[in-house]
Amino acid sequence: MRSTVRFADCIVTQPWYSILRGIDIQIVLNKLGNKIMLNMLCLFMIMLVSCQAQVEPEYHNISTEFNKTVNLDYLLYVPQAYVPNEAYPMVVYLTGLESVDDINMIRNYGPPQLVEMGMEFDFFIVAPQLPGDVHWDPDALNALVQEIRSSYHIDDSQLFITGIGDRGGWGVYEFGVSYPGIFQRFAPMGAPACTEICRLGDVSTWIFHGAQDTLVPLADAENMIYEMQTYCDTENQLTIYDDLGHEIWEQGYSEAGFWQWFTGTTPTFTGPAAVASQETLTTNISKDFDDDYLLYLPVGYEDNEDNWPLVLFLHGSGSAIDNIDDIRHGGPPLLFEQGMNSDFILLCPQLHANVHWDVDRINVLTQYIIETYRVDESRIYITGLSRGGFGTWEYAVSYPNLFAGVAPIAARDIPGVERLANSNIAIFHGASDNGVPWQGSQFMYNRLQNVGANVQLTLYEGVGHNAWDLAYNSEGFWIWLLNQQNDFVSISDPVESPPAAFLLNQNYPNPFNPSTTLSYALPEEAIVTLLIYNIRGNIVKTFASEAKAAGWHEHVWNGLDVSGQTTATGVYFAKLQVGDYSNTIKMLYLK
């Protein structure tokens, strides 16, 4: 995306602005006055270029009742001495994929394992089974807790929650920030970080993590402790196991002093083996949504019956939560209004409160837009920044077949990202981000690569938390995003016209590591030669030297030369030769 310069109500692209460099604007302003000069400049620009009219957003509201049915199987351990006239503490224990196929696998870990080994306990243990390859649903967990509270005499001042790993540990945070005030103790083990952690309130938290964890970065645990110590009114501590990886729960639950801190009791193994009952919760949950959003329709939407791509943009924290107009001050909305060539519908919901994005709410709105407007369902995209980037991850992982392209920026990592194995993902982060650790994005990239996803990671050296200005203002970002197509949507593909001219796009991402995408357009079938040169002019890679059909073509370069060896860090050139047409772009390979 070329930078833009505003003159009154005109949008002028940077190359045309260079025409004015020889004009001493201040002298002319002194002679003619600001208003006259601005009008003259605007008229001058109109004669040179066609200024695209600014696209203003439509302001909308969606108010509806949302209903969902919850089915949760769970194990329930009732203390042997329980009598209904006495209140007892309760522990909620969350696992992950370990028990998805067999609820009895819950017994092999954590509190259930210990009490079945004879650990005496004077508290309830509720251990739900994750209902599939999904995230824990805080609404469902809250319904379960309320069910137990209504069926037994539970001491509401002694409610504790713990969970293990990618799913269970993250579920501890997610439940806590979604329903603050329920629990007094939190013990996540091997958990990804959470957004809005201070919503936990005045609680005590003990975090456990393995320094060798390759699934969830240690930086997540360290960041949570930093935020709680700096911004929150909480008691907290972090235990790091230097020699352990992701599975640290056996050590965590046997840690000296853990049970005294967690439940107020010191465990002894003199009791009989506990026996759990297997239960099922089935209930309906209803939520009222009353959300505002901005909608940008592309120029020409009303002129035909075509279906259009849809881009969903999730903003971050800050003033946009209270003032919807502030959504317009950055990212895709600002570019849209500045005249970006935007042949897509842009949907910008407003976060309804100072909380994290609710997938149910976003999905209700997205489905409404799909049903109401002419949306090409094979080209639905999602992107977001900071808290919106976190929401981007969560929505995409929850609905992995919905989006053709996913682009989280400066976002925390989340569990279950492998669900996006068949998706197209571009991740962006500032390498100097001290608010949301970049390691989370790196781990997301690593995990997606391990399952064969089409994923790219751009780390901006020397850039802090605001990585979105660089990402969104890159022309390559929009070329990549809007060229993605969702193979899971069954559509009748229209016959596309071939491109109007030969074109070699700038590689994306650039700089790159470990790979970058080269794309070019052919208006007709032609013999194509696409070569990679180093700075000495030596050919290091040949991608195409053959006949290609009319249309768009892509090649991914992974930094390897013709012999399969990794090339050195530095500047490289890609040259496209098609008959008399030739174009060369410069690329920067970083390690």
- How far is Cα 88 from Cα 152, in angstroms, rounded to an integer? 9
Q: What percent of the chain has pLDDT over 70?
A: 88
CATH architecture of 297-482: 3-Layer(aba) Sandwich (3.40)
pLDDT at 445: 97
Nearest-angstrom CA–CA distance, 129 and 96: 8
What is the gyration radius of the CA atoms in the chain, in angstroms?
A: 28
In 3D space, the residue among 208, 211, 207 whose CA is nearest the CA of residue 243 turns out to be 211
pLDDT at residue 55, as a whole number: 81
Residues of the chain with pLDDT under 50: 1-33, 35-36, 38-51, 490-496
Taking the C-alpha atoms of residue 186 and residue 540, their distance in angstroms, rounded to an integer, is 54
pLDDT for 6: 34
Query: Where do the structural domains in the chain lie, given as residue ranges?
Result: 1-51, 71-284, 297-482, 503-589
Write down the pLDDT at residue 488: 75
Terminal CA-to-CA distance of the chain, rounded, Å? 25
pLDDT at position 554 is 85
Q: Helix 25-32 to helix 34-48 angle, to the nearest 10 degrees?
A: 120
**Structure tokens belonging to residue 497:** 């016209």
Asked if 297-482 and 503-589 have one fold, the answer is no
Prior bond to 111 cis, omega within 30? no
Alpha helices in 245-376, H assignment, sequence order: 249-253, 258-263, 331-337, 359-372
pLDDT at 499: 65
Q: Which amino acid is at 562?
A: V
- 503-589: which CATH topology? Immunoglobulin-like (2.60.40)
Under CATH, which number does the domain 71-284 receive? Answer: 3.40.50.1820
Question: In angstroms, rounded to a whole number, what is the distance separating the alpha carbons of residues 346 and 310?
Answer: 6
Q: In this predicted structure, what is the pLDDT of residue 500?
A: 63
The residue with tokens 């209902």 is: 131
Task: Tell me the one-letter amino acid at 31.
Answer: K
Taking CA atoms, 536 is separated from 80, 434, 533, 571, 573, in Å, by 79, 39, 8, 10, 10
